[in-house]
Amino acid sequence: MQSDFSRTLSLLRKEKGISQRAAAKELCISQGLLSHYENGAREPGLAFVNKACNFYNVSADFLLGRTLSRDGTTIGAEELYDYSTEKDNTLRGSIMATLNKKLLVNSVGLLFDLLGRTGHKGAITAASEYLGAAIYRLFRHLYRADGTQNEDFFSVPARRFLNGAAAADMLCTEADYVEALAACVKEKGTFPPMNNDALAESYPGMYQSLFQIIHTTGERIQRSLASREGKK
């Protein structure tokens, strides 16, 4: 399996639009050696990493997979772009996409505020990983739908993805989430109030979004269950 370094090295070259032969010449190594580096068959020395960083104009931390920022800086929560703060944040071409985005953003915001009030890092991490896996799956299916995109963009091979690796990850992170919540109950005993009145009072705007998602999802599940029962 390719390391973060080898995959990033290969993607940077393709992004630059040059052949392996041309890149090897610029980096003062043989094409064969560059191929080994890009395939993860060999690990480079510090001198090569330095040359590659200069050639592709990225930091060593980015090239080595230690950060997602090309200049090597880390991004704090306060620095993340918040699309919801834009005055005109209607998604291009679709009112429906904007509506559903707002329902989900508001509901996730409410969820993480409640988790934050529990103070349990394990539950917060597991919830984030579960939702991250869901977004990963949806985006990757969209990315590969027309069959023209280069899936080297992803570290998980296409075959593994289609065989359910990401789905399995969601199941595992859901189990971690449930275990973390159980641990939180054992440690602290109580959670923030989550009955209808308490949520409506604490989150007057966001609660309507959560209620809508709970209602719509519940109705869809009930229809599916009824359909299956009818086929028996």
122-150 residue pLDDT tens: 999 999 999 999 999 999 999 999 989 88
pLDDT at 1: 43
Domain residue ranges of the chain, discontinuous segments joined by +:
4-63, 91-231
Per-residue CA distances from 58 to 9, 44, 63, 229 (Å): 11, 16, 7, 57
Look at residue 80 in the predicted model and tell me its pLDDT.
45
Do you know the residue count of the chain? 232
Query: Minimal CA–CA distance to 59: which of 16, 128, 8?
Result: 8
Spans of the chain, pLDDT less than 50:
1-2, 77, 79-81
CATH 1.10.260.40 fits 4-63, yes or no: yes
Task: Output the CA torsion sign for 64, 67, 71, 73.
Answer: negative
* pTM, to two decimals: 0.66
Helix, strand, coil percentages (3-state) for the chain, rounded to 5, are 70, 0, 30
pLDDT tens digits for 144-187? 999 898 888 788 889 999 999 999 999 999 999 999 999 999 98
